[in-house]
């Protein structure tokens, strides 16, 4: 481990901490030699985006809200940029602020100017976004994976560097094993992190996709999905058939999910269909009060 990797654990402030930083009221091309290590107002047209930016989704409504805030109060926290050889700059961190500043009609933005190589650019962009916790779970997972690969870190070491728990890092990385369609659903907030964590424990991809589609179609809660996964696991544990037959049997679970939906609609209450080995099982009808139980019993007796 070198000094750079130790800095990673101290967060973005350590990475950007440069003694002797001066505040320069306005960037002046004629004084370019004095730009590094200063905070200056830099024309937005001179700032290129960060090619290592881990964030790929920017919520339009959120950007508009930030733009409105910038119109009223200005940009409170400077962005961070690095100098390029052609007299322009490249964004290290603060892309959301730059986008909002443009929407607000600004032509320049306060920026901390520093020098950085490509590896430092990538490191700082990922660390800042992860520490701000404004990435979706897939972007966070991809950021973790990138740091592990680029710096040859173990999950344990990465946990220490970022101050994140080992289980949290492991759970995020497991999301990258999900089918692309489900990852997109998580990025677009069609499902939650809880849904995804339950789905990733299923080995069969088609079963994952079937349950994912049912989550969206039926509005299944995280607990509903966990129960389905639990039933699948119990079926597999008690099943003495060959593995290749288990996959097809797991795929048939959709039949029981559809049955649960039909019964829930009929009784106006949550219904669970639990299956066991040999075709056995149970149907559980939930009720919320004695009056609700009486209502359900009348339906059963029809």
Catalytic residues: 95
DSSP letter (8 states) at residue 87: S
How far apart (Å, rounded) are the C-alpha atoms in residues 195 and 183?
A: 11
How far apart (Å, rounded) are the C-alpha atoms in residues 80 and 44?
A: 12
Burial (0-12, 13-18, 19+ Cβ within 10 Å), 209: middle
How far apart (Å, rounded) are the C-alpha atoms in residues 207 and 190?
A: 18
From residue 110, give the alpha-carbon distance in Å to each of 47, 51, 66, 102.
12, 21, 16, 13
How far apart (Å, rounded) are the C-alpha atoms in residues 260 and 286?
A: 12
Q: Which two tokens stand for residue 232?
A: 């699948």
How far apart (Å, rounded) are the C-alpha atoms in residues 144 and 135?
A: 12
Closest of 107, 111, 91, 88 to residue 40, by C-alpha? 111
CB-based contacts of 36: which residues, under 8 Å, 6+ apart?
83, 113, 114, 115
How far apart (Å, rounded) are the C-alpha atoms in residues 220 and 104?
A: 40
Between helix 222-238 and helix 243-251 the angle, nearest 10°, is: 150
How far apart (Å, rounded) are the C-alpha atoms in residues 32 and 8?
A: 29
Task: Please tell me the number of Cα atoms within 13 Å of 85 on its side-chain side.
Answer: 1
How far apart (Å, rounded) are the C-alpha atoms in residues 163 and 148?
A: 15
């Amino acid at each position: 481990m070198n000094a750079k990797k130790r800095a990673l654990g101290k967060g973005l402030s350590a990475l950007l901490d440069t003694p002797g930083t001066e505040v320069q009221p306005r960037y002046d091309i004629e004084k370019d030699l004095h730009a590094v290590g200063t905070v200056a107002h830099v024309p937005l047209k001179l700032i290129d985006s960060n090619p290592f930016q881990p964030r790929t989704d920017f919520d339009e409504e959120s950007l508009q809200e930030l733009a409105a805030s910038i119109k009223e109060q200005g940009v409170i926290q400077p962005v961070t940029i690095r100098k390029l050889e052609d007299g322009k700059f490249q964004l290290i961190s603060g892309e959301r602020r730059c986008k909002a500043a443009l929407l607000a009609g600004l032509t320049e933005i306060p920026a901390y100017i520093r020098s950085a190589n490509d590896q430092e650019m990538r490191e700082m962009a990922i660390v800042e976004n992860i520490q701000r916790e404004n990435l979706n779970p897939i972007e966070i997972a991809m950021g973790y994976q990138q740091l592990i690969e680029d710096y040859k870190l173990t999950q344990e070491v990465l946990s220490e560097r970022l101050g994140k728990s080992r289980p949290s890092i492991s759970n995020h990385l497991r999301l990258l094993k999900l089918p692309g369609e489900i990852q997109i659903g998580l990025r677009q907030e069609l499902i939650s992190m809880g849904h995804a964590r339950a789905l990733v424990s299923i080995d069969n991809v088609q079963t994952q996709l079937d349950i994912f589609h049912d989550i969206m179609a039926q509005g299944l809660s995280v607990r509903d999905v966990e129960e389905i996964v639990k039933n699948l696991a119990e079926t597999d544990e008690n099943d003495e058939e060959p593995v290749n037959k288990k996959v097809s049997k797991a795929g048939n679970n959709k039949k029981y999910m559809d049955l649960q939906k039909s019964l829930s609609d009929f009784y106006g209450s949550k219904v669970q269909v639990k299956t066991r080995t040999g075709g056995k099982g149970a149907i559980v009808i939930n009720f919320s009060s004695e009056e609700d139980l009486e209502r359900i019993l009348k339906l059963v007796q029809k």
